[in-house]
Structure 1
Amino acid sequence: MIDTQFCGLAEIRAISYFSSSLYLKESIEEVLWDITKNVIHQLGFVDCIIYTYDVDRELLTQRAAYGVKNPIGEKIYNQINIALGEGIVGSVALTGNAKIIRDTSKDPRYIKDDEYRLSEICVPIVINGTLFGIIDSEHPEMGFFTEKHLYLLTIIAALCGQKIKELGVNNKKNFSKANQYFKKLEELMRFKKLYRNPCLSLSSVAEVLGISACYLSSMVNSLLNKSYIDFINEYRIADVKRNLNSKAFAHYTIISVGLEAGFNSKSAFYSAFKKHTGITPKEYRDRCAYVS
């Protein structure tokens, strides 16, 4: 329950928006970017970074951003990692206790990222008692962040953690090879030969399917246990193998066959072919000629 006496109308709207929008989110990336791009903006902050925690490396990695760090789309400018215990972010990750730093110039832990700012607030995202990440926001004005902001970000972090927990439990169950989008995806590859487009991107295919890029990536990964680019390249390599063994392409150079299949460069072609077959395209063609 939101304390309406503690929060203003703008803050209540921001929390209500986030609570409602979570139902439509299908991946962790969508949840995190929704916080930075929409919720944080509504709160009137000028900057926000969400870090996620890599347990094996004990590193916090910038995963979503708002402000100078996010000049366009879902890109993070000069993406950095912070070690557990390092800086204010790392300290909050280590202790699990949210912090408001009213004057960063007096805190030796402060780490400059894109520019110096005089106040900072850090709130951990915890799932089942385990650190998932950190919501970190800075402001050029000293003493900008208040207990009200801490209260709001704590609610946002809790909602975020709950949704990510649900995604982790349900993600595999949500997909099957009977999924209408997966069936349409396979049709586009098998019959429309969409993979032959050298400029084909995750977002462009998602747009054709009418779904988000995050949903498409999660679907391919969950159903096939492989990345989107590996999925596309397998179709391209199958095309290359057929054509290298075809008289109709006997006058083509090997690189021309690769480009015809949708690879956009010689290096990308040779690297993918070796990764998926264990041999080079020339070795494959020579073996086919020997067998013939």
Structure 2
Amino acid sequence: MSDLNIISQFATAMLKAATLDDLLWAISKNIGETLGFDDCVIYLNDNNSLIQKAAFGIKNPTKRNLYNEIKIPVGKGIVGYVAQSQASEIVADTTVDHRYIWDEFSGKSELAVPIIYEDITIGVIDSESSLKNAYSHNDMEVLQIIANIAAPRIASAQYCSELKQTQSQLEETNDKLFNSLEQLKENQEVLVQNEKMVSIGLLAAGVAHEINNPLAFSISNVSYFKECIKDITNMHQVIFEHENISPKIKQQLQSINYMQSLEEITEVVGETANGLLRIKNIVSDLCGFARNEEKEVSNFDVNKGIKIVTNILKGEINNNCHLELDFGQIPDLYGNETKIHQVFMNIILNAVQASRNNGLISVKTYLDENFACIDITDNGLGIANENLQNIFTPFFTTKPVGQGTGLGLYICYKIITEEHGGQIKVFSNHHKTTFRIMLPLHSADQLNLHNLT
């Protein structure tokens, strides 16, 4: 077969290869069969190590399996020397060449040509024979032409293989990042809910006091109501047990002032109903705050929300300070009402804890351009300047160990800024501290619901 036919046949076989692996095995097989070599091994350069990737002959006992696969450092052995020098070489007698690396398949002569792409050795084509002087200069020239033709194809296949591997790694990384993001979202929801439950735990005593007061007079009124009912019942018994009312019975009826009893019953029932309604409202507000309704978005009244929160905190506030509310005309806002209530709860509770005995807490709402503003101010000792810059940093707290998680204000910041597109600012000196919450006057179609849901 002429050299031209050999090269043409090789090029055809190379074009049919779909992958880098297919290409390398096709090159080794085609060279071995068309040039009549005992064997042919393809090495690829990987970080200055020449690694066997495909073979024809004794090194390939079964389909696409290499026997005793080896790595040769660039510069060592005949293959390594050819890779380093970038020059083809024929070794007529390996027994007298000190560079030759002996193994169980050692040959008597060797032909090696470099595979060079853009002046870089990307591999070596190597053939060994059991005979001395087995290779001619024509064999070397043909093999070098084949190597030159194969070089860009191998480089391209390597690039595609690396690209696919990188793509696969990126997809795997993206999957991990997505799963991590979902886990972070779940963890954040747990943190938010846990922070709410911490607040509820702090409120338990105050809420119990608020419930016990109306409950106590409701129970007392019910007891009195029973006595009134008993008097009326006795009166009816007297009337219906006697057909003719004697003077003695009249005297008994006069001693039972049932009209007054009826009036008192009406009054007591009214008080009882109001007391029980008050308990219902307190429990309803507290349950509404505790519910994990993280994904609900709707129109809400910010002033009403502040009333609900201060009602829950009433016992805590009354025991420590005085509360002033100054509500402006605020249109309904759109967002997650439960989360906004949590922000109010956290900041007002912080204000209560920061206030001096008989201190003052004021909550003011007003409009400022495109924002609904809520100023929550206490007349405590203020926040030190060095702490202001860290006030919204997660796990930062100035409270003693065990009394603060350092997550409350961080969660408030995320709810207002990231989930509702608003702002939260803090101003403080030695006489007072003001937290300013600024919520945009969004409509439902303007709000970025992605962050809320």
TM-score bucket (shorter structure): 0.5 to 0.7
| Contact preservation (8 Å) 2:44, 2:53 | yes
Give 1:12 shift. Answer: 3.2
SS class of match (2:99): coil
Separation (CA, whole Å) in 1 of partners of 2:60 and 2:33: 13
| Contact preservation (8 Å) 1:27, 1:218 | no
Query: In structure 2, what is the equivalent of residue 259 of structure 1?
Result: none
Aligned to 1:138, which of 119, 128, 135? 128
| Contact preservation (8 Å) 1:17, 1:39 | no
The C-alpha deviation readout for 1:54-106, integer Å capped at 9, x for no partner, is: 12xx2111111111110011110010011111111111111111100001111
2:43 aligned with 1:45: no
Determine which structure has more spread, i.e. the larger CA radius of gyration.
2
| Contact preservation (8 Å) 2:31, 2:40 | no
Query: In structure 1, what is the equivalent of residue 76 of structure 2?
Result: 86
| Contact preservation (8 Å) 1:15, 1:39 | no
Figure out how many residues of one structure are paired with residues of the other and give that number: 174
2:50 aligned with 1:70: no
Aligned AA for 2:41? Answer: I
The structure where strand makes up a greater share of residues is: 2
TM-score, with structure 2 as normaliser: 0.36
SS class of match (1:73): coil
The C-alpha deviation readout for 1:154-173, integer Å capped at 9, x for no partner, is: 0110111021234356x3xx
TM-score, with structure 1 as normaliser: 0.55
Separation (CA, whole Å) in 2 of partners of 1:145 and 1:101: 8
Separation (CA, whole Å) in 2 of partners of 1:222 and 1:116: 38
Query: In structure 1, what is the equivalent of residue 168 of structure 2?
Result: 224
| Contact preservation (8 Å) 1:49, 1:137 | yes
SS class of match (1:112): coil
Cα pair distance change 1:88/1:17, threshold 3 Å: same
Aligned to 2:15, which of 23, 32, 38? 23
Separation (CA, whole Å) in 1 of partners of 2:12 and 2:90: 28
Aligned AA for 1:225? Answer: Q
Cα pair distance change 1:220/1:107, threshold 3 Å: closer
| Contact preservation (8 Å) 1:118, 1:142 | yes
Give 1:124 shift. Answer: 0.2
Aligned AA for 2:126? Answer: D
SS class of match (2:121): strand
Cα pair distance change 1:97/1:115, threshold 3 Å: same
> Runs in 1 of length 4+ with deviation above 4 angstroms?
217-220
Aligned AA for 2:34? Answer: Q
Separation (CA, whole Å) in 2 of partners of 1:126 and 1:79: 23
Cα pair distance change 1:168/1:60, threshold 3 Å: closer
Stretches of structure 1 that go unaligned for 5 or more consecutive residues are 1-7, 172-216, 235-292
Query: In structure 2, what is the equivalent of residue 54 of structure 1?
Result: 46
Separation (CA, whole Å) in 2 of partners of 1:25 and 1:222: 21
Stretches of structure 2 that go unaligned for 5 or more consecutive residues are 177-453
